[in-house]
Amino acid sequence: MAQKDKYSVLLPTYNERKNLPIITWLLNKTFTENNMDWEIIIVDDGSPDGTQEVAKQLQKAYGANHIQLKPRAGKLGLGTAYVHGLQFATGNYVIIMDADFSHHPKFIPRMAELQKSQNYDIVTGTRYAGDGGVYGWDLKRKFVSRGANLFADTVLRPGVSDLTGSFRLYKREVLQKVISSTESKGYTFQMEMMVRAKAMGFSVAEVPISFVDRVYGESKLGGDEIVEYAKGVLSLWMKV
Ligand SMILES: Nc1nc2c(ncn2[C@@H]2O[C@H](COP(=O)(O)OP(=O)(O)O[C@H]3O[C@H](CO)[C@@H](O)[C@H](O)[C@@H]3O)[C@@H](O)[C@H]2O)c(=O)[nH]1
Ligand SMILES: [Mg+2]
């Protein structure tokens, strides 16, 4: 008999003490209601706000079979947080998402269903197709995000509507292959992953999602990340 599918969620956190209990509760609810096997791998980068203490409480509440804690000593960036977390994933599918409930777990069953329908390698959430959208960002942040997508799309033509978004479902071995060829460390990571996945011939489907800006805490996206991103697009253009 085939083994039952299991979904491993990689959840990078930096100062998400207030968000973590709610996102965990929502994930548990979604997976339980949809009869899906699950685990969450929390990769906390030594958050000064005590995120790890909260994570330990959650592990007690939901069980170590559902919550793995895989912290790192300091803030080493979003891209490498996924690389770190992936080593511990026991599921045959891996979901990456943000911990600040900008990515609502309610989209996960839809992503899983679409994946199954044609055995897709990757299903990505998109803010920029169908009834997807962004809520709560100011004009400047919207402009930066749109501009970043347009820039990469024009230069690299991967044919995916949301390149910088990070709500995605992968077959585990596909994520392993793509991640091992990816060089970016920070926010550029998502875009590089998708461009490389397409270049490697993996199939990608899209689910429109609504991205809602965080309620608690602050975004960690800074000006230097934007410069890194532009550099990342151009260096991929030379390579892929
Ligand atoms: N472990 C770890 N986690 C991090 C780090 N930097 C950010 N995070 C975590 O990564 C998630 C996203 O970070 P945010 O700071 O909330 O990102 P955002 O500004 O809302 O950006 C969103 O949009 C970007 C552009 O579309 C996306 O690239 C990004 O992934 C995210 O979806 C959150 O769970 C945050 O705690 C880090 O260095 N280390
Ligand atoms: Mg956020």
| pTM for the full predicted model | 0.94
Query: Does residue 1 have a pLDDT over 70?
Result: no
Do the bridges between strand 37-44 and strand 122-126 make them parallel or antiparallel, or are there none, so unpaired?
unpaired
Tens of pLDDT, residue by residue over 193-225, are 999 999 999 999 999 999 998 888 888 887 788
More confidently predicted of 167 and 239: 167
Using the 8-state DSSP alphabet, how is residue 40 labeled?
E
List beta partners, residue 135. 212
Residue closest by Cα to atom 16 of ligand 1: 219
Residue closest by Cα to atom 11 of ligand 1: 98
Ligand 1 pocket check for 170: Cβ under 6 Å: no
Other residues' Cβ atoms within 10 Å of the Cβ of residue 127: 23
Tens of pLDDT, residue by residue over 17-62, are 999 999 999 999 999 999 999 999 999 999 999 999 999 999 999 9
Q: What does the alpha-carbon distance between residue 67 and residue 43 come to, in Å, rounded to a whole number? A: 11
Q: Which ligand is nearest to the CA of 168?
A: 1
In the predicted model, what is the mean pLDDT of residues 148-168? 90
Ligand 1 atom nearest residue 187's Cα: 28
pLDDT range class, residue 155, cuts 50, 70, 90: confident
> What separation in Å is there between the alpha carbon of 238 and the centre of ligand 1?
27
- Between the CA of residue 54 and those of 39, 57, 100, what are the distances in Å? 17, 5, 14
Ligand 1 pocket check for 12: Cβ under 6 Å: yes
List beta partners, residue 96. 10, 168
Using the 8-state DSSP alphabet, how is residue 4 labeled?
P
Q: What does the alpha-carbon distance between residue 8 and residue 97 come to, in Å, rounded to a whole number? A: 11
What does the mean pLDDT of the chain come to?
93
Tens of pLDDT, residue by residue over 70-125, are 999 999 988 899 999 999 999 999 999 999 989 999 999 999 999 999 999 999 99
> What separation in Å is there between the alpha carbon of 29 and the centre of ligand 1?
23
